[in-house]
Amino acid sequence: MQGTTQYVNLEIVASLPETEIWLGDADGFFVQKALGKLITRLLSGDYVVEFGLGTPVYPIHLDKDKSTTQAELQAGPVCARPVFSLPE
């Protein structure tokens, strides 16, 4: 039997309804943007979240359904923004 692809639910609630939530993957690709509340279904893996472009970047690892808030993510570590690069 071949491996199965696992999708997980992610919900992020911003502190203010007008806050932009930017979600990217670990390779530097933009995945999704929402205003105030992001609800999505993604492949399990590593992602990054910003609350407005140019603000600190927070890592998020998804291996099961996750519901979190801006305050919870901002209480954790920051990380460098992944930089997209083409393979040679």
Q: At 31, which CATH number?
A: 2.60.40.10
What b/e sequence results for 24-58 when a residue is b if at least 16 CB atoms lie within 10 Å of its CB, and e otherwise? bbeeeeeeeebeeebeeebeeeebbbbbeeeeebb
Query: Which domain does 38 fall in, by range?
Result: 7-74
Contact 17, 49 (CB under 8 A): no
pLDDT confidence tier of residue 1, bands split at 50, 70 and 90: very low
pLDDT given at position 3 = 58
Query: What's the Cα-to-Cα distance from 80 to each of 39, 73, 77, 85, rounded to whole Å?
Result: 24, 15, 10, 15
Residue 18 lies in a domain: yes
Residue 83 lies in a domain: no
Residue 1 lies in a domain: no
pLDDT confidence tier of residue 75, bands split at 50, 70 and 90: very high
The pair of structure tokens assigned to 53 is 């472009």
